[in-house]
Structure 1
Amino acid sequence: MHRAAVVPLRIFLVVLFGILVVFETLSLPGGIAYQTAQNPNDAPLRWPLTAIAVFWVVCVQVVLVCTWKLLGMVSKDRIFTRAALRWVDVIIGAVAAGWLVLASIAIWVVLQADDPGMPMVLFLLTVGVAVFGLLLVVMRALLQQATTLRSDLEAVI
């Protein structure tokens, strides 16, 4: 059953990766340039915002590449190996890096804000990404346990 999901998932990963390349090279820089041109007070934020947005897209792309590699391991029935744990570690690292930048921005916005709307949205996103990252840590622990059990079983057989 899982093999039937691998091919469509890989197709969607390629499509998503391509869309993200367009976003990081054209849409985000262009959109941020347009917004800062419309609001001259925000002009000093153009390049920091562009760098942060592109950084987040790169974090997502890292997760997509690692997911691709893990799907290959699933297809070859090699997911319960130490190599799979390394790919999961890279995913966790990318999520953690993105979360750190998001949390820093949320703190900065909270200190600057006079309206609770944006801080609340950033708080929601920060908590959501934290939950996702911690869920990945738990799933990694489960993968590690399954890997150990499989190794033990193979040693018995």
Structure 2
Amino acid sequence: MLHSRLIALLLRAVLVVAALWLVVILGLSMPGELSDEPLPFRIPVQIALSIVILCVLTVIVCIWRLLTLVRRDRLFSEASHRWVDAIVWALGIGWSVLAVLAITATSIIYFTPELRDPGFPMLLFGIVTLAALPVLLMLVMRGLLHQATGYRAELEEVI
């Protein structure tokens, strides 16, 4: 039990550090980094990246709530389903925005002869592909949570 409490404490510490880091990027770093870009590109890119960061912050809050449910031994309840569904939705929205941003950037690179370089589009393809993994993993984990909740309910009926 001590081992799992230590892991939960470490996870909470990492979640706090990650959330603070994302807030600094969202509020301070990103506006400065994008200030050199031409205005037609700066605002859509800033909006898209802000949405992605807000989705990740939503996932952090949901994981925090799930850790609270684990501590109270209520993980296999309907409350956890809502938080896992929120994670799936946040990851899906963030991935969709990231994919649209990557497709747009790749299209601009492809249709601008001076910019035609396969390196950056391939990097974007890799990022979008890797970003799909947490979404798909959470879908699998959501299915496992539903099954485990059903098994726990059956077990409680037997006992």
TM-score, with structure 2 as normaliser? 0.90
Q: Which residue of 1 aligns with 2:81?
A: 85
**AA in 2 matched with 1:85:** H
**AA in 2 matched with 1:99:** W
* CA distance in 1 between partners of 2:9 and 2:17 (Å): 13
* CA distance in 2 between partners of 1:116 and 1:132 (Å): 26
1:1-157 matched pairs, under 5 angstroms: 1-33=3-35, 35-36=36-37, 42-113=38-109, 114-157=116-159
* CA distance in 2 between partners of 1:57 and 1:123 (Å): 19
* CA distance in 2 between partners of 1:148 and 1:50 (Å): 43
* CA distance in 2 between partners of 1:85 and 1:137 (Å): 12
* CA distance in 2 between partners of 1:50 and 1:137 (Å): 28
**AA in 1 matched with 2:14:** F
* CA distance in 2 between partners of 1:55 and 1:105 (Å): 11
- Number of corresponding residues: 151
* CA distance in 2 between partners of 1:2 and 1:52 (Å): 37
Residue 109 of structure 1 and its aligned partner are, at CA, apart by 2.3
- Give deviations 1:94-115, integer Å, cap 9, x for gaps: 1100111111122222322211
Residue 89 of structure 1 and its aligned partner are, at CA, apart by 0.5
Residue 69 of structure 1 and its aligned partner are, at CA, apart by 0.1
In structure 1, the gaps of 5 or more residues are 37-41
In structure 2, the gaps of 5 or more residues are 110-115
Divergent runs of 4+, >4 A: none
- Give deviations 1:39-92, integer Å, cap 9, x for gaps: xxx332111111111111101100000000000011111111111111011001
* CA distance in 2 between partners of 1:29 and 1:136 (Å): 31
* CA distance in 2 between partners of 1:13 and 1:95 (Å): 16
Deviates more, 1:109-118 or 1:19-28: 109-118
